[in-house]
A and B are shown apart, each in its own frame.
Chain A
């Protein structure tokens, strides 16, 4: 969970922050080993 949180939130206070696209968000799940229908965001 900490690994997911690190990737998800590490840019939260960056000056160039922008909302994550669905694709970027999904890639974060995949990168920390979370996959399958349970972890598939809407629109996937």
Chain B
């Protein structure tokens, strides 16, 4: 079991999410400067947050790849929220951005099977999607974290 998150870990987590919400991609350097922390402290918090599945660092760079519901890299889920565009990791997370921010969102994502654009979102607090749209969850919950990038 992962160790409990420290107060610093929680501050780092919050800064990561706020950076995404502002429409930017978080970096360890940016978090360090924003919070007045040492680089090693931020790196340690990244490790703690990754161990608890709060963030997923990119395997090559160590920077945030995912901080659910946000993605640092382009995905098929480009979500419009408050006049800004952010990337969600999946349709679950696209709707999750609306829930986390308690606001409306919209996104258009291609059907993986037919490439037909599917419009969906939350309007005045009510979720909607193109008629006939279905969500396919391809990986069972016990195996989600075997390869979270694929999931």
Contact = CB atoms under 8 A, between A and B. Distances in A.
A2 B127 contact: yes
A41 B142 CA distance: 5
A1 B135 contact: yes
Interface residues of A, number: 22
A8 B10 CA distance: 18
B22 to A, nearest CB: 13
Which of B53, B95, B145 has most chain A Cβ within 10 Å? B95
| Chain B residues touching A, range | 20 to 34
Interface in B23-69: 52-54, 68-69
Contacts of A18: 5
Contacts of B93: 5, 9
Which of A5, A6, A12, A17 has most chain B Cβ within 10 Å? A5
B141 A41 contact: yes
Interface string B127-151: 1000000010100111001000000
Interface of A: 1-10, 12-13, 17-19, 29, 37-42
Interface of B: 5, 10, 17, 52-54, 68-69, 91-102, 122, 127, 135, 137, 140-142, 145
